Structure 1
């Protein structure tokens, strides 16, 4: 496939990729809202999520100029449309991942990147961390009047706010082949990721302690309400 043929096909299929991204986001939001209730989705998600189509120049560069060795660059590039869910703590990542993996009646998923597995594989290394899923349409479907063929891919990234800050700072300057960072810069970035991991653990411990206190208080209030109702016969309020 030539660059011209690649671009021509991309222009023709932009609407179906946009429709697939819209469908994926709407479905995840619906299921995730139920999963995190009574917390609102707007509060749970720390950065607004919007499906994003890959820019044409970036797509062509990735397909033909980065020595990726794609057998079929158009098919092999799976992030032509994607979205990113940014949450507060790593425990929240699990909730989003659970929703993504539960929707197998609509798509087939694979993990292109799993930071937890990478930690186990390279325990002494501190680098970019994120969960990357590729979800592909399980069977032809129609959304907003557009037929989306089976196998159409969409990338979903899931990360914490701290991981996102690290990525925004370093992705284009450290992990792109067109740039070469000095060893001192790489070391500083690695130290920042180590601190991010530690900070997330401290925040999680703090939240566990807070939630434990709240749970104890709630149990006590329910016990007092029960005693009151048994003694008086009614309650004018509900906990």
Structure 2
């Protein structure tokens, strides 16, 4: 890549894109595959890990928008390779964020948590955006050596946050300019509902795990006065099976969960 060439016109920008985008296509794919394998090995639940390289149309639009504000060049663009990690619940977002921080070199000055930016009184688009490069150690590996020094963006969001982003931004349903107040209010209300649903799903997941753990404890203490559910019956059968196996073998076994 010849990043030192002076680029002034739309044609220059288009030529830069044509000559430099291919490595970013490979970078997006290899980072997505690497992340997916890491999520599986760490047993972190996720919906999908889609990836993309920036289209030429999107690239040229961003250049035009940025140049209206300040000096900007294609080499300043950090999202030519983009990856998303879509989780089921909010609790897994932080796990994914910790994993990303441990795997890649994160550019903290360019990364942002959109939820924190909203503050306490606003609702809207929520997601965590990381700008990274592969890092000193990983770039020594043959499969990553071609991507030394190249930046990529990873967005981490829940499935409901992703649904909101698709409606509000990615699918182009948002009108150009300011919406009428009554439509804008409905957008904000919808965003608030999705955020509340996200929080409730997260709480339910935690409470279901607590319920299962409490069942195990109650069964071991012969406290069987609880609502009859399939979960309760399964836990009881598992507990009885453990006792039977221990009695037959005379050897302790690990607690079934």
Root-mean-square deviation (CA), in Å? 2.8
Matches within 5 A, 1:20-99: 20-36=27-43, 44-46=45-47, 48-65=48-65, 67-99=67-99
Q: Deviations over 1:113-171 (max 9, x none)?
A: 3034224xx21111111111111243455665972231x11111111111111111111
CA distance in 1 between partners of 2:178 and 2:99 (Å): 38
Residue of structure 1 equivalent to 2:230: none
> Do 1:84 and 1:158's aligned partners in 2 also have CA atoms closer than 8 Å?
yes
CA distance in 2 between partners of 1:180 and 1:142 (Å): 48
Q: Deviations over 1:33-92 (max 9, x none)?
A: 12226xxxxxx322x323201110111111024555343321222111101111111111
How far did residue 9 of structure 1 move?
A: 2.1
Tell me the SS of whatever aligns to 2:154: strand
> Do 1:18 and 1:51's aligned partners in 2 also have CA atoms closer than 8 Å?
no
CA distance in 2 between partners of 1:109 and 1:27 (Å): 19
Q: Given the alignment of the two structures, is residue 117 of structure 1 paired with residue 116 of structure 2, yes or no? A: yes
Matches within 5 A, 1:146-165: 147-150=146-149, 152-165=150-163
More strand by share: 1
CA distance 1:7–1:141, change in 2 (3 Å): farther
User: Aligned residue pairs: how many?
Assistant: 224
TM-score by length of 2: 0.75
TM-score by length of 1: 0.80
CA distance in 2 between partners of 1:145 and 1:126 (Å): 39
Q: Could you tell me which runs of 5 or more consecutive residues in structure 1 were left unpaired when the two chains were aligned.
A: 38-43
Tell me the SS of whatever aligns to 1:69: coil
Residue of structure 2 equivalent to 1:100: 100
Which moved further from structure 2: 64-73 or 74-83?
64-73
Q: Given the alignment of the two structures, is residue 129 of structure 1 paired with residue 130 of structure 2, yes or no? A: no
CA distance 1:226–1:61, change in 2 (3 Å): closer
Which moved further from structure 2: 52-61 or 222-231?
222-231
CA distance 1:169–1:205, change in 2 (3 Å): same
CA distance 1:136–1:69, change in 2 (3 Å): farther
CA distance in 1 between partners of 2:126 and 2:116 (Å): 10
Q: Could you tell me which runs of 5 or more consecutive residues in structure 2 were left unpaired when the two chains were aligned.
A: 1-6, 221-234
Query: RCO greater where, 1 or 2, for CA within 8 Å and sep 6 or more?
Result: 1
CA distance 1:161–1:57, change in 2 (3 Å): same
How far did residue 215 of structure 1 move?
A: 2.4
